[in-house]
């Protein structure tokens, strides 16, 4: 994860947090239920339960996440950071 992303301080974060997907223009926000959350300073990647996609978003000071991009796999998501 650290080698592919280039972030030597990347960490796994706990999944117990509020996560919203806002990536579809004109569609209502959608709550995501995270299985895995990876933190990269103020960005993060979220893999929801029952979903194979990875979502990229902003990590806020209160631990919540707003996701605004989706990737088909972890490697693509890590490279997209």
Could you list the residue range(s) of the whole structural domain that residue 36 is in? 2-80
pLDDT at 50: 92
7 phi and psi, to 5 degrees? -105, 105
From first to last of its 81 residues, what are the pLDDT tens digits of the chain? 788 877 778 899 999 999 999 977 888 999 999 999 999 999 999 999 999 999 999 999 999 999 999 999 999 999 888
Number of domains present in the structure of the chain: 1
- Provide the whole-model pTM: 0.90
């Amino acid at each position: 994860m650290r080698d592919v992303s280039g972030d030597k301080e990347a960490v796994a974060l706990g999944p117990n947090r509020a996560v919203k997907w806002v990536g579809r223009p004109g569609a209502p926000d959608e709550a995501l239920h995270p299985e895995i959350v990876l933190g990269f300073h103020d960005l993060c990647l979220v893999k929801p339960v029952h979903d194979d996609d990875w979502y990229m978003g902003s990590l806020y000071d209160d631990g919540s996440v707003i996701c605004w991009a989706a990737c088909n796999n972890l490697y693509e998501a890590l490279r997209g950071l």
